[in-house]
Amino acid sequence: MDVGYPPNIETVILRDRGPGNGKSSDIEYQGTEATRQMSAMLARYNALLQSTFIDIPILERPGLDGNDDDRSAHVIVSHSHRAKFVRRVFNRGSFDQGGRFYGGWWQRCPKEWRARIFINDEPTTEIDYTGLHLVLLYAWQGLSYWHEVGGSLSERIARRFPQARIVAIDLDPVLLALGRRALTQFDGRLRFVQADLASATWRTALGDARPHAAVSSTALHWLLPEQQVALYREVQDALRAGGVFLNADHQRFDERTPVWKDWAERHDTQTQEAGWAAGAETWETWWAEASATEGLAERVAERQALFANRPQSLPTTVGFHIAALRQAGFAEAGTVWQLFDDYVLAACKAGAAR
């Protein structure tokens, strides 16, 4: 016997807050061509999910400890084959607000388990959405981050230090292509190099130069912890005396700080939802557009091949990074900015101050 959802169940949900207790509840609405198209798409998507095997194979039972949608109660998340039906939920009585997909068990799965999800017996990689915060800020101003300031960190340095010579290193061919396209005004001072920071070979891009500073933004968390430690040693060795290293990235809270961890995760969710409600593109939409853009489609295919077999990165705490920087030989290391679990860390090499 096959137990499932009836074929006519509503999949496009509109919610609004009641006048009494202020809690959101489903409300009736008049169907339109747009909502009918969404329903048809969801029917196809749910059919695909039902024919797809999504599992955490190391679990001995079809359930794990998790949290409910408002993160206020402890629940058991069933990861069975039946817990895959999804709906789109719009908020504040408007189809312009929200519209996220809800219902799949993987959405309520604790972060530490999501990296172990398999689809049709194949391992998966989870994309880190918190790296989109800067993109969302531009979207709130009606600007496309990638069209306006692709390679934005290099651009800011080039404008702030007009005499500086900059080497911009990245492995991602899409981001390199965007940076080269957007920052032609800095030709002669700014050089883009494709190199893998997980390998010491990236230093060949510097030649004999001894940089005054090395900077990174939302990039190093993609490396494994042991690769981060090795990179810090290489950066310390490459810098000239008195050189500075700055790293802006996500340094996660762990089980020792559950309240802070919960606050940070709530903030991430609220930021993303606010951005989407304001019209920001989702990760999937942006990559779909990039794949269809002349001059980028080939780079997208190259990127997929490069990252296909990369190991899943592991979350690390700010304490880990500060200790690793000190062990790498930096004279000083610490936090110079923080917003929940987003940090800017600074490390100084011994020698003459700059």
Report yes or no on 281 lying in a domain. no
Among 78, 104, 124, give the residue marking a domain's end: 124
Report yes or no on 16 lying in a domain. yes
Cross-strand pairs, 342: 250, 339
Q: Which residue has the tokens 């290193």?
A: 169
Q: What was the pLDDT predicted at 138?
A: 55
Does residue 205 sit in the same domain as residue 304?
Answer: yes
Cβ atoms within 10 A of the Cβ of 34, count?
10
Q: What was the pLDDT predicted at 79?
A: 55
Give the CA-trace dihedral at 57, 63, 68, 69, to 10 degrees. 40
- Token output for 170: 């990245």
Does residue 107 sit in the same domain as residue 235?
Answer: no
- Alpha-carbon torsion 208, 213, 218, 224, what sign? positive
Does residue 204 sit in the same domain as residue 239?
Answer: yes
Long-range contacts of 189-196 (CB under 8 A, 24+ apart): 189/158, 189/164, 189/165, 190/154, 190/158, 190/165, 190/166, 191/165, 191/166, 191/167, 192/151, 192/168, 193/167, 193/168, 193/169, 194/169, 194/170, 195/169, 195/170, 195/171, 196/171
Does residue 301 sit in the same domain as residue 195?
Answer: yes
**Range of the structural domain that residue 209 is part of:** 131-258+290-348
Q: Is the CB of residue 255 less than 8 Å from the CB of residue 110? A: no
3-state secondary structure of 25: strand
Does residue 90 sit in the same domain as residue 159?
Answer: no
Q: Is the CB of residue 352 less than 8 Å from the CB of residue 331? A: no
Q: What was the pLDDT predicted at 317?
A: 93
Report yes or no on 268 lying in a domain. no
Among 99, 124, 149, give the residue marking a domain's end: 124
Instruction: Count up the domains in the chain and report the number.
Output: 2
CATH number at residue 239: 3.40.50.150
pTM of the model: 0.60
Does residue 103 sit in the same domain as residue 242?
Answer: no
Does residue 226 sit in the same domain as residue 320?
Answer: yes
Does residue 155 sit in the same domain as residue 225?
Answer: yes
Q: Which helix (H) or strand (E) holds 24?
A: strand 24-26
Report yes or no on 58 lying in a domain. yes
Q: What was the pLDDT predicted at 232?
A: 97
Does residue 107 sit in the same domain as residue 139?
Answer: no
Report yes or no on 243 lying in a domain. yes
Phi, psi of 126 (to 5 degrees): -90, 130
Q: What was the pLDDT predicted at 6?
A: 59
Amino acid at 78: S
Q: What was the pLDDT predicted at 328?
A: 96
Does residue 325 sit in the same domain as residue 198?
Answer: yes
Report yes or no on 43 lying in a domain. yes
Q: Distance (Å, rounded) from C-alpha 41 to C-alpha 194?
A: 39
Report yes or no on 277 lying in a domain. no
Does residue 164 sit in the same domain as residue 58?
Answer: no
Residue 78 class from Cβ within 10 Å (0-12 exposed, 13-18 middle, 19+ buried)?
middle
The tens-digit pLDDT sequence of the chain (354 residues) is 455 555 668 889 898 877 666 677 888 888 889 888 989 999 888 888 888 888 888 776 666 655 544 443 344 455 566 678 889 998 888 888 888 888 888 877 777 777 788 888 888 766 655 445 555 555 555 555 555 544 578 888 888 888 899 999 999 998 898 888 878 888 889 999 999 999 989 998 888 889 999 999 989 999 999 999 999 999 999 999 999 999 999 999 988 899 999 999 898 888 888 888 777 778 888 888 888 887 888 898 999 999 888 888 888 999 999 999 999 999 999 999 999 999 999 999 998 655
Does residue 211 sit in the same domain as residue 343?
Answer: yes
CA distance readout (Å), 52 to 175, 211, 214: 32, 50, 45
Report yes or no on 170 lying in a domain. yes
Among 124, 141, 169, give the residue marking a domain's end: 124
